Amino acid sequence: MIYDVVVPTTGRESLDVLLAALGAADGPLPARVFVVDDRPAAGAALVVRPPAALRGRIRVLRGRGAGPAAARNVGWRAASAPWISFLDDDVVPAPGWRVDLARDLSDLPDRAAGSQGRIRVPLPRHRRPTDWERNVGGLERARWATADLVYRRAALEDVDGFDERFPRAYREDSDLGLRLIGRGWTIEPGRRRILHPVGTADRWVSVRKQLGNADDALMDALHGRDWRERAGAPRGRFGRHAATTAAGLAALVAAGTGAHRPAAAAAALWAAGTAEFAWARIAPGPRTREELATLLLTSAAIPPSATLARVRGHRRARRIVRTTPEAVLLDRDGTLVRDVPYNGDPALVEPLPGVRAALDRLRARGVRLGIVSNQSGIARGRLTAAQAEAVMARTVELLGPFDDVRWCPHAPEDGCACRKPAPGLLLAAEPPEVSPA
């Protein structure tokens, strides 16, 4: 079993703990560990302290500060192993993690895209967990959480990896899972275990987390309103948050126009909604002075924060869906690679500047890519079909993956239906609705 590990990081101290545990675990070592420095601002080089077992295996890559989805794409595209293990920089592999990983992968069926590790969140035993601790504890029940998920490289190539339009550590894993399932893959539960400590957080962390509602709106647009059931995601409280926010706004508007009774009624509804939400969070405990103050303040702030994020998310999602094509078909010579007339030599294939980065940006937005090319040199005897296939294979090797690759072997005088500008190649390519370039 050969596997690479990809760890996106913002430079947290927990990265050293992860690497130490990964190196100390029993079982086969990863071929390479790609640590993707995803700090937003370029500054001093990231300092990585590898344990002895991983020395010479760790490579630090520079991300764009665009979030974990983009950082993971940087990592797995630089990797070459048939299996890619994604770990968050704040997890701790169990001592037998590498042994269990090998067992998990050896048991997978051919159409399994990957294996989900078992996440354990250590919660306090001497008292009831806080609201934030319970929130992190939900990772134990999460489906397809990339805190510990190993994917086949072939499966990642099949769906072009993570969708970089998800800028947060939220829903990017569910989106990838749904796309893999939609392509006929499965994601199997594994036996290996990993520890996910709660970590420290300030009073307002739960309010900032409401930005994830924008990603929920994008999920609605990309996967339909039933995506939660298919992804195993709980429904949440957004409907109640929206109703509470609407009542608060109505109270303010009515009060501003002098409608005192409607303002009082709307204010009462807002207060009732806020109180119900606060109590739902307070009831499980602990009811310390600090926890009570935090929950009372944030319970008033969360509904409008969630509603505003969802509204902005819907606007962005509509714009994305409206302006993003399902697929793009590209010519090869002079568009993707330097034009060498009647080229039959794979060694002469040279990508044009900027092409790889442009293709990766399209893939990151979920756009499927295809090549359609006229190769009349076959009919004219200037190269063989085998040579044309070898050159196309080299193009795919340098710039792929592509969802479809087709070429016409005929001469213009043959009158075929596949030579561009005839639509034969375009009609034969999948999916049927494409945007030729």
Say which of 333, 345, 360, 404 is annotated catalytic.
333
Q: Which of 16, 158, 331, 404 is catalytic?
A: 331
- Cα–Cα–Cα angle for 49, 54, 56, nearest 5°? 90
Active site residue 4: no
* Contact residues for 196 (Cβ-Cβ < 8 A; gap 6+): 88, 90, 91, 92, 119, 120, 121, 136, 139, 147
Annotated catalytic, 160?
A: no
Exposure b/e, 372-390, CB count within 10 A at least 16 = b: bbbbbbbbeeebeeebbbb
Report the C-alpha gap between 196 and 93 in whole angstroms: 9
| Strand, coil or helix: 215 | helix
Structure tokens that stand for 52 in this block: 């002895």
E strand spans, 38-185 = 58-62, 83-87, 92-93, 112-120, 148-152
Q: How far is CA 31 from the centre of its chain?
A: 23
DSSP 240: H
119, 93 in Cβ contact below 8 A?
A: no
Instruction: Please count the CA atoms within 13 angstroms of the CA of 323 that sit on its side-chain side.
Output: 8
Structure tokens at 237: 């409280």
Strand partners, 152: 83
d(CA 8, CA 323): 29
Residues in the chain: 437
Q: Among residues 136, 149, 110, which one has the least CA distance to residue 6?
A: 149
Where in the sequence numbering do the catalytic residues fall? Answer: 331, 333
